[in-house]
């Protein structure tokens, strides 16, 4: 295992930015062998955990840390590129926005990873022929409400299957007025400033993960307020969770046991509010 740590800095507007950039030194180094084996079809219970042998257990760590960090906020997420798959899995309509936050999974440093806001885009199929609606909304990202940890896990599942995937969470004060301001900040012809999108009360948490070689995981957190102490506490807790998981990983006998282990590793109940 490798300890979870965050680099601390500020962006050009003065926002506090915290980055977990593990590179090759991912948190979980002893993976469950069952991720690399063929299993019989007898256990058909759907797993909420978007984990496989390309993106193993550290994604549960990132999901849990992101959810715990945003406790008490209203959470809204943009799943990168695979907007319509996220809509299918979440079973809810998104709000269309014009801008999304981009983290380049191929970069190893803050300077090469963090691209800031870029024009939104969504996947448009080639065959069968895309519908007029799909073409019309090809340059819109989807902003989804996250009501439970399962929603976050579903959003992460939606962006699986490419060289990398990303879900950006905007955590703001609850209420319709604050949500309207968030949406308005992510719309329009002018590229928004992150400080203006978050304001004094908002928080960004980006979860980016690599699946192919040359793509790397990261957690990016931005806020006007000082979260250093909170992140240090959470990082230490999740480092202990990883250590405990690796100590018992060889005892996991089946998928049911793995699902229980992921709940313990992540520190979240998928169906908790």
Q: Residue 209: what pLDDT?
A: 97
| Torsion (CA) 168, 171, 174, 180 in degrees, nearest 10 | -50
Task: Select from 243, 233, 220, 200 the least CA-distant residue to 117.
Answer: 220
Domain boundaries, the chain: 7-266
Considering the entire predicted model, what is its pTM?
0.95
Task: Select from 86, 89, 74 the least CA-distant residue to 273.
Answer: 74
| Torsion (CA) 57, 147, 19, 101 in degrees, nearest 10 | 110
pLDDT in tens, 133-145: 788 889 999 999 9
C-alpha to C-alpha distance for 62 and 40, rounded to whole angstroms: 29
Per-residue pLDDT tens listing for the chain (273 residues): 999 999 999 998 899 999 999 999 999 999 999 999 876 666 567 789 999 989 899 999 999 999 999 999 999 999 999 999 999 999 999 999 999 999 999 999 999 999 999 999 999 888 888 888 788 889 999 999 999 999 999 999 999 989 999 999 999 999 999 999 999 999 999 999 999 999 999 999 999 999 999 999 999 999 999 999 999 999 999 999 999 999 999 999 988 999 999 999 999 999 886
Structural contact between residues 204 and 223, judged by C-beta atoms closer than 8 angstroms: yes
Structural contact between residues 142 and 123, judged by C-beta atoms closer than 8 angstroms: no
Tell me, rounded to whole angstroms, the distance of Cα 48 from its chain centroid. 14
DSSP string, 130-188: PPHHHHHTTT-EEEEEE-SHHHHHHHHHHT-SSSEEEEEEEEE-SSHHHHHHHHHHT-S
C-alpha to C-alpha distance for 268 and 273, rounded to whole angstroms: 10
What average pLDDT does the structure give for the chain?
95
pLDDT in tens, 39-97: 666 656 778 999 998 989 999 999 999 999 999 999 999 999 999 999 999 999 999 99
Structural contact between residues 80 and 168, judged by C-beta atoms closer than 8 angstroms: yes
């Amino acid at each position: 295992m490798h300890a979870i740590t965050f680099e601390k800095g500020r962006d050009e507007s003065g926002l506090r930015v915290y980055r977990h950039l593990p590179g090759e030194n991912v948190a979980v180094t002893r993976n469950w062998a069952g991720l690399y084996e063929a299993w019989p079809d007898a256990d058909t219970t759907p797993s909420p955990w978007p984990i496989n042998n390309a993106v193993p257990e550290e994604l549960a760590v990132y999901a849990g840390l992101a959810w715990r960090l945003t406790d008490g906020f209203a959470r809204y997420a943009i799943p990168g590129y695979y907007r319509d798959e996220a809509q299918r899995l979440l079973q809810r309509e998104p709000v269309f926005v014009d801008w999304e936050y981009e983290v380049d999974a191929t970069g190893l440093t803050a300077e090469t990873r963090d691209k800031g806001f870029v024009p939104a885009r969504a996947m448009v199929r080639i065959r069968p022929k895309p519908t007029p609606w799909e073409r019309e909304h090809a340059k819109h990202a989807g902003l989804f409400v996250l009501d439970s940890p399962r929603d976050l896990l579903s959003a992460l599942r939606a962006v699986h299957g490419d060289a990398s995937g990303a879900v950006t969470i905007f955590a703001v004060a609850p209420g319709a007025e604050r949500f309207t301001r968030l949406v308005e900040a992510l719309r329009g012809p002018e590229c928004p400033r992150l400080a203006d999108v978050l304001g004094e009360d908002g928080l960004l948490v980006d979860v980016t993960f690599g699946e192919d070689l040359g793509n790397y995981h990261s957690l990016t957190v931005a806020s006007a307020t000082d979260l250093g102490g909170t992140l240090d506490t959470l990082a230490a807790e999740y480092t202990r969770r990883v250590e405990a998981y690796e100590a018992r990983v060889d005892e996991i006998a089946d998928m049911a046991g793995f699902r229980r282990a992921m709940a313990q590793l992540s520190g979240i109940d998928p169906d908790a509010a």
